[in-house]
Amino acid sequence: MSLHSSAKFDPILVADIGGTNARFALITAFDAAKNEFVIEHNQTFPSANFKSLQSATEHYLSTVAHIKPQRACLAVAGPIKAEQVQLTNLGWHFTVSEFKQYFSFTQLEVINDFAAFAHAAPYLDSKQNVVIKMGQADSDANIAVIGPGTGFGAACLVRTIQSTAVLSSEGGHISLAAVTDLDEKLLQQLRKDHPHVSVETVFSGPGIAHLYKAMAAVHGVNAKPLDATQISNLANTGECDICDATLNQFCDWLGSVAGDYALTYGALGGLFIGGGILPRMQTRLLASRFVERFSQKGIMSQYAGQIPVTLVTQDNIPLIGAAACLHNSK
């Protein structure tokens, strides 16, 4: 059943389950005029306070005991295989059908957090996010979502005239390609420590340290044992030229990588970047060669050039995505 109007409907339970926090809310309406879901009773609990997702869910529902949601969608930071869901960092494990039966849900969907990002993309508020690259989005075409964070996620919202679906992937582990001479020199250094240099090897939290070490080697400088936070701080205060060059290269090279995903997914509906790293690097990203490198795709440069790119900084993405997953279900 789809949620078609701006009228209220029976509340649906949505959740964003991560290694640190479990967030729950009820979706009570869809405002078609604003193209947004009405999120109420939003609560966050430390995941470590509970022995299982079942107990965390029971606790949340006890706080809204006067409401009995019949439908639910959970966005989880973990793998989902044949109805088995494993949240490794918490030691939580559950079976989708048993969870559905326990809570007497008529419909239960469990999706990966990056799939939720893809589902959420058409419902994001442009006023709350940052345009990195202007373009002309095709409202019926695919949308790509990527995100450098603890790892690197990539997914696609596939849109046809008849329906939509999310294509999840292990796109963060594809081989990283060099475009410039500096890229190639950095790859040569990175291969000394990483036999397979993937996108995630560089474009993740730990990846910034890998890139810094390679950048120092290319410049003939001894690298210090710095982590991503230290590298960022030294770059932003102007205390370390290699750190500064590392973050600039991170933003520049990410432009080429993002353009590759946009082409791969046929993302004429736009490309959205999330994750925990880039929102803290907005100024540097906007001043970088990201846009130039995004569109440098040879005979496909015009194609890539029309694709808009948005940095997503608004809150509640997994909850919006969970709601959208049910909104678009048949």
Which residue type is seen at 27? I
User: Residue 155 and residue 111: Cα distance in Å, rounded?
Assistant: 12
pLDDT reported for residue 8: 67
pLDDT reported for residue 265: 98
Mean pLDDT (10-residue bins), the chain, 330 residues? 57 92 95 92 95 95 94 90 83 93 96 94 93 95 94 94 90 97 98 97 96 98 96 96 98 98 98 93 97 98 98 94 87
Task: Give the architecture-level CATH label for domain 8-113+317-327.
Answer: 2-Layer Sandwich (3.30)
pLDDT reported for residue 330: 53
Beta-bridge partner residues of 177: none
Distances (CA, A) of 330 to 10, 78, 163, 309: 17, 25, 9, 29
17: left (phi over 0), alpha (psi -120 to 50) or beta: beta
The residues spanned by each domain of the chain are: 8-113+317-327, 171-311
Domains 8-113+317-327 and 171-311 share a fold: no
pLDDT reported for residue 7: 56
pLDDT reported for residue 328: 81
User: Residue 89 and residue 196: Cα distance in Å, rounded?
Assistant: 25
Distance, CA of 132 to chain centre: 16
pLDDT reported for residue 18: 85
Domain 171-311 has CATH 3.30.70.1020: no
User: Residue 151 and residue 88: Cα distance in Å, rounded?
Assistant: 15
pLDDT reported for residue 90: 81
Site of tokens 């529902």: 61
pLDDT reported for residue 210: 98
